[in-house]
Amino acid sequence: MGVPPGTPGAAADDIVTPPGGFTYRANVHQEGQPDWPPIQQTEVSLKSLFRTVSIKYRDYIETKAGETRNNIIYLEVSGFPPLDPLKVSYEAVSVPEGINVERDWQTYGGIGSQNKKSSKTLLKIHIASQLAPGEYPFAIKVADFGSIPCTVKVVD
């Protein structure tokens, strides 16, 4: 989570709202400021009987105990009949003790081609201050489509 000079207390995955909508701090270049290390994201597709969702999200998050990390889930739905992407729900499952995942907000990400709509959902991942260093896997259930894996690595 490198922190460029001049930004004490800030993190690359802080949420900012430049023109165009909310995103990670690392995705925004600011004139005269050093760039942040990029946020690594994974892309997956899940299918139901008539629809497909394409998802871009963070499947591996490295952090210290006692911190809160952000995971934006970018989702695009295609298929017929059309599905409002804001009606897709998320639930963290098999979450290890000491980690709490909550949905903070969800908004449209724009309208793509015919029968494709997108959304952005923010999941906040709270790490207990007493959680020992190590890797903690869990899954994020994407209603009606399946689950996507996520791992939090707690470092010293």
Mean pLDDT across 59-83? 93
Secondary structure E strands in the chain: 15-16, 23-24, 42-47, 51-57, 60-64, 68-79, 90-93, 99-111, 116-127, 134-142, 146-155
Taking CA atoms, 53 is separated from 20, 93, 142, 143, in Å, by 22, 19, 9, 11
- Does residue 5 surpass a pLDDT of 70? no
Residue 126, helix vs strand vs coil: strand
As assigned by CATH, the class of the 41-155 domain is: mainly beta
Please report, as a single letter, which amino acid is at residue 100: N
pLDDT-based confidence at residue 57 (cuts at 50, 70, 90): very high
Name the residue ranges covered by the structural domains of the chain: 1-39, 41-155
pLDDT-based confidence at residue 1 (cuts at 50, 70, 90): very low
Model pLDDT for residues 75-131, shown as the tens digit of each residue:
999 888 888 899 999 999 999 999 999 999 889 876 555 557 899 999 999 999 999
Asked if residue 38 has a cis previous peptide bond (ω within 30° of 0), the answer is no
Q: Give the predicted TM-score (pTM) of the model.
A: 0.88
* Structural contact between residues 63 and 127, judged by C-beta atoms closer than 8 angstroms: yes
- What is the pLDDT at residue 98? 98
